[in-house]
Structures are given as C-alpha cells and as structure tokens.
Amino acid sequence: MQGIISFFLAIIMFLVPTANIPKAVVDDSGWNTQYECVFVHGLSGWGSYDFVYNIMPYWGIFGGDLMKYLNARGFKCHAASVAPSDSSWDRVCELYAQLTGTRVDYGKEHSERCGHARYGKDFSKNPLIRKWDSENKINLFGHSFGGATIRLLARLMADGSPEEQAVTDKSEISGLFTGGKADYIYSITTLASPHNGTTAYLVGREVEENGGSAGEVVETEIMNFASHENIDGRSPDDSASYDMDIDNALALNEKIGTVPGIYYFSYACSSSSKGADGKWKADTERMEPLFVSSAKLICAYTGTTKGGVVLDESWQENDGLVNTISAKAPFGDPQQEYDKNSVEPGVWNIMPVYKGDHMSLQGGLLMNNNVRLLYVEHISMLNSL
C-alpha cells in the first residue's frame, strides 16, 4: 500500500502548483544552543534514506523540502527513515542505528518473542548525523506515530531494557538497551501524534461490520493496514496498528512516561468545530479529501474500549485521523499549557491547537500548507531555552 500511495503522490506532485512561500529571517542573537534536529515520519511515511524522498519530501510535500529550507536558515535538520508500519519498538531500533551509524539490532529478547530477524540494515557508512552524545544533543520531532517512536527512544536511552540485558551478552548488546544516555536528547516535539491512541480504529471496524460505503472503509482503514502479522508471520502485537489501539497506547504510556531532563512539546491539530447544536462537525473545506469521511465519523463517535476506556464527546474533535485530545499529551504525564516563561524539562508543554488536518504540519498534500515559519520559530525557541 505504501508503494501505491508513494506512486500516486509522485504523479500528482507535478500537477499541483507550488505556492510562493516567504523566507524567514532568523535572529540567533538570543540562542543558547544550536543542537541538530531529527524529524521522524509517521505511519506509511518515508525519510531521506528512501528513494521517494528525492522525488517528494515527506516534510514539505508540494511546498518544497522543509529540511533544505531549515538548513538554509542555519538549522541543522535531518529526516530519518523508519519502517512505515512496524511497531514503535522496531522503529526506535532503526532510528537509533541511523543516529549512531550502526547496524540495526531489534534485540535478542524482542526478536525471538515477536518472530522476526534480530538484525537489520547497517548504517555505518551513512549515519544520519555526524556525532551524537551528551555534548552533541539532538532535538527530536515526530509526526503522528513518529511521536511514540521518539518518546520510546528517550525512555530506552535513559533506562535501557532490562529484558534485553537479561538475555544478551554484554559484548553484543546494543547501546540502545544499556541506558544511561538520557542527556543525549535535548527536546521532544510531537506533531498530531496519537499519544493515547485514536478512535479511527474503532470507527473503521464499525464501518466494516455494518457494511459501510467503500469510501468510508478505505479512509478509516488507512491506519488499520499497518500490521505485519499477515505479511511475515510476526507477532500481532509487534505492529503500528497494535500500538495505536487506545488500550495498548495507554499501556505503552505507562512504560514510557517523561524523562526529567528532556523538554517536551506537543502540537495537536483540529479540522473540526462545534456547531450551534453543540455537536462537533468536520471542517471539510480545510481538509484533505482523504480524511473527510473518517473525520465525520470520528466527530459522531462515542463508545467504550475493550479495556473499559470511556470515549465521550471530548474525543470527537479531530484532525481527520487523530483525536485532538489524544494529541495534546499522554494521559497521566506532567503537562501544562505552553507558557514561554515557565518551560520546565520533564513536563509536556501543550502548544495552541493548530487549525488544520492530520497532514497540515508536514506541509499538506493536495492542500499546500505553509508551516515553514512555525518550525523556524519553534526551533529558535528551543535554541533559546
């Protein structure tokens, strides 16, 4: 499916005009740091290691490569490439290998339990960044499922994995699983990330069970396809679809938490609004056609998960795929509305809700969206902390 989507995007790329986007003038006089930034894509996405990125960058889409733009402004930014539909664990292992210039090691315990190969690609000849340690920290950005990826990376860098340590010889264990590296990461910024899962799964299942229209099934199943159990025989719980189920996402949150020395920021999106009757309605005029049906269904959905989580009206505001309440911050983590005068590490700083659909913060698809200045301002803020 990723190949089909990528081919489709490559074709229409040449049919959509690129908007004239103003250049930002960057004032670095108040910066305290100039750490490199690493951007991690979401479900079914791609990065700079993938061929399609040269044709159409995930970050920027039709508006032009966001990484090139930010680099030209004096920021050092990189687009990672992780598996488009694998679990947060597997994606973290791939990201770590790219950042350290090593071979991907999914872990002895994990790979044996989940039924797939332990080792993957070797990035020793083409690491994503030049140097990464406590002096050369990084800022991490994660769009959609990329949010869970970078959050789990931070936790493993801090504490490692007792499960992997218990079964792996010290001479062959990945540095990712040994911990003690919390200070390698300066900040985490999530973008439209389903921290607490998404009701898109539940809506999709009900549409199928009730014989919904083909359009509804296709659109609400965009996220459900992300499971490897029918492809390579791996464990069903080793997939993106499993991790983004609400009950499973909340269980993952309990294991991740926040790392005390890292700054946390989140941008939630909304392409819905309350009508005069008090009900949420999809703002279809500023939404990619791809998300219209699912947005409408999520706006009307209430229910209870198998684990007993009550999904009331507070879950109805959404960006077409992710509930706005879920993208603000993981439930139970320390959090506050963003205030430039009270930013503290280890606490989620919830940025103002961005008015746009699920793809708006990566630049849009058919609806070209200028987010360049948003990133210039945000990274400048990180550098000035």
Task: Look up residue 186 and give its DSSP letter.
Answer: E
Q: What are phi and psi of 183, to 5 degrees?
A: -80, 10
Contact 161, 107 (CB under 8 A): yes
pLDDT band at 231 (very low <50, low <70, confident <90, very high): low
Distance CA 258, CA 348 (A): 8
Q: What are phi and psi of 164, to 5 degrees?
A: -70, -40
Q: Record the pTM.
A: 0.91
- Tens of pLDDT, residue by residue over 99-150, are 999 999 999 999 999 999 999 999 999 999 999 999 999 999 999 999 999 9
- Tens of pLDDT, residue by residue over 251-264, are 999 999 999 999 99
pLDDT band at 203 (very low <50, low <70, confident <90, very high): confident
Sheet holding 77-79, edge to edge: 77-79, 36-40, 138-143, 185-191, 263-267, 348-350, 335-337
- Token couple for 233: 């025989």
- Tens of pLDDT, residue by residue over 57-116, are 999 988 899 999 999 999 999 999 999 999 999 999 999 999 999 999 999 999 999 999
> Domains in the chain, please, with CATH?
31-198+231-271+322-384 (3.40.50.1820)
Average pLDDT, the chain: 89
At position 283, the amino acid (one-letter code) is D
pLDDT band at 204 (very low <50, low <70, confident <90, very high): low
Burial of 85 from C-beta contacts in 10 A (0-12 / 13-18 / 19+): buried
Q: Which residues pair with 189 in a beta bridge?
A: 141, 265
